[in-house]
């Protein structure tokens, strides 16, 4: 098996089709009356992953490309309104599939995780912030990496040292990263079982601090490694995990640079959630396929982005 786009699409479609047949509860129930769908949920999920990997931020441009080049793989390509509606309905399915594919890799049960959050900008003008359907969820926050404020959301990621997403959440820009991490660890299907199976190491930045917070993690069998904050006693092992901290920065760079996270184009809560889930699933699918074919670098998207 090769690491190329056609092979990934075939393997992903077959796996999605088998998983959805085994778990029909993971897709939305369709009304008994109405038009019968001409494209399956497994095909829709595969199309969504290919769109993210090939860098199409416009759904209309992507569907024109699919009709011109992918009809051999997808005999029926929906129109843009239908594609958008189906994609939003499949957002919970994409989140579940992300976790399922991660568990099927050889690195899904890694006992060392890196955590961080990254801004997801949703608008820049004051009028957008006032009139957008995202107002009330999206809010103003500060991006330390770019030393500027932004209006939007934050994507919180928990990844293995190979860059494989284990859990993620999308929150307002001012959400407390510690609370979100606790929610991910307790609320993401499958993570609680992994944590209970044995001790884990979590590598984070200075924002993940507090004796109560660290005590709660320790009770769950999680050791927290983070840089020393100003006024604290030196924490051991900092020089060893600093290189590992760069992994989460690299993951965020992959999401933004290659999967166009900041150009999601969502204008509603459902639209943003679907597009973020689409990109996280695309990265997970690439790592899953690279793991299957024995690629040296599991998080490399080079074989799929052109």
- The residues that bridge with 203 in the sheet, in sequence order, are 114, 225
pLDDT at 48: 97
| Average pLDDT for 27-39 | 74
Range of the domain at 187: 112-266
Q: What's the CATH number where 163 sits?
A: 3.30.420
Q: Which residues contact 123 (CB under 8 A, 6 or more apart)?
A: 129, 132, 134, 138, 151, 152
Tokens for 65?
């490309």
pLDDT band at 156 (very low <50, low <70, confident <90, very high): very high
pLDDT at 115: 94
pLDDT at 247: 86
Any domain includes 148: yes
Any domain includes 141: yes
Tokens for 201?
């190491």
Is the pLDDT score of 288 beyond 70?
yes
Q: How far apart are CA 80 and CA 64, in angstroms?
A: 9
Helix (H, G, I), strand (E, B) or coil at 300: coil
Helix (H, G, I), strand (E, B) or coil at 152: strand
Any domain includes 234: yes
Position with higher pLDDT, 199 vs 173? 173
pLDDT at 34: 63
Position with higher pLDDT, 35 vs 150? 150
Any domain includes 304: no
pLDDT at 53: 95
Helix (H, G, I), strand (E, B) or coil at 12: helix
Interstrand relation of 148-160 and 112-123 (parallel, antiparallel or unpaired): antiparallel
Any domain includes 219: yes
Is the pLDDT score of 1 beyond 60?
no
pLDDT band at 278 (very low <50, low <70, confident <90, very high): very high
Position with higher pLDDT, 46 vs 231? 46
CB 39 within 8 A of CB 77: yes
pLDDT at 79: 94
Q: How far apart are CA 256 and CA 25, in angstroms?
A: 32
pLDDT at 32: 65
Minimal CA–CA distance to 149: which of 116, 176, 182, 126? Answer: 126
Kindly give the residue spans of alpha helices, DSSP state H, lying in the chain.
Answer: 5-22, 41-53, 59-69, 80-89, 91-103, 126-131, 177-187, 191-197, 211-219, 238-257, 269-293
pLDDT at 297: 85
Any domain includes 7: no
Q: List pLDDT tens digits, range 101-136.
A: 999 999 888 888 999 999 999 988 888 888 888 988
Is the pLDDT score of 56 beyond 60?
yes
Any domain includes 65: no
Tokens for 295?
């690629």
Q: How far apart are CA 290 and CA 284, in angstroms?
A: 10
pLDDT band at 191 (very low <50, low <70, confident <90, very high): confident
Any domain includes 25: no
Question: For residues 264-288, b (16+ Cβ closer than 10 Å) or e, as one string?
Answer: bebeebbbbbbbbbbbbbbbbbbbb
What is the 8-class DSSP label of residue 255? H
Q: How far apart are CA 80 and CA 271, in angstroms?
A: 13
How many domains does the chain divide into?
Answer: 1
DSSP characters for 161-188? TT--EEEEEEEETT--HHHHHHHHHHHS
Is the pLDDT score of 33 beyond 70?
no
Indicate the length of the chain as a whole number.
306
């Amino acid at each position: 098996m090769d690491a190329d786009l056609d092979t990934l699409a075939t393997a992903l479609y077959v796996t999605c089709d088998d998983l959805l047949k085994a778990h029909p509860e993971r897709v939305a129930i369709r009304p008994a009356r109405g038009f019968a769908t001409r494209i399956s949920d497994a095909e829709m999920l595969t199309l969504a992953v290919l769109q993210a990997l090939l860098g199409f931020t416009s759904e209309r441009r992507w569907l024109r490309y699919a009709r011109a080049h992918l009809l051999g793989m997808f005999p029926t390509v929906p129109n843009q309104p239908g594609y958008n509606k189906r994609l939003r309905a499949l957002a919970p399915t994409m989140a579940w599939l992300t976790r399922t594919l991660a568990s099927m890799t050889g690195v899904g049960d890694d006992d060392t995780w890196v955590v961080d959050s990254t801004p997801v900008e949703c608008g820049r003008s004051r009028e957008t912030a006032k009139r957008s359907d995202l107002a009330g969820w999206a809010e103003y926050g500060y991006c330390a990496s770019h030393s500027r404020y932004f209006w939007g959301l934050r994507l919180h990621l928990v990844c293995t040292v190979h860059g494989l997403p284990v859990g993620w959440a999308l929150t307002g820009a001012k959400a407390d990263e510690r609370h979100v991490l606790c929610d991910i660890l307790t609320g993401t299907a499958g993570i609680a079982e992994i944590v209970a199976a044995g001790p884990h190491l979590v590598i984070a930045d200075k924002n993940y601090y507090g004796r109560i917070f660290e005590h709660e993690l320790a009770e769950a069998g999680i050791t927290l490694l983070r840089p020393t904050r100003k006024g604290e006693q030196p924490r051991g092992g900092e020089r060893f995990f600093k290189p590992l901290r760069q992994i989460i920065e690299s993951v965020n760079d992959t999401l933004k640079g290659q999967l166009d996270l900041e150009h999601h184009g969502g204008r509603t809560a459902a639209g943003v959630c679907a597009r973020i889930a689409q990109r996280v699933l695309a990265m997970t699918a690439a790592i899953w396929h690279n793991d299957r074919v024995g690629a040296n670098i599991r998080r490399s998207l080079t074989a799929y982005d052109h």
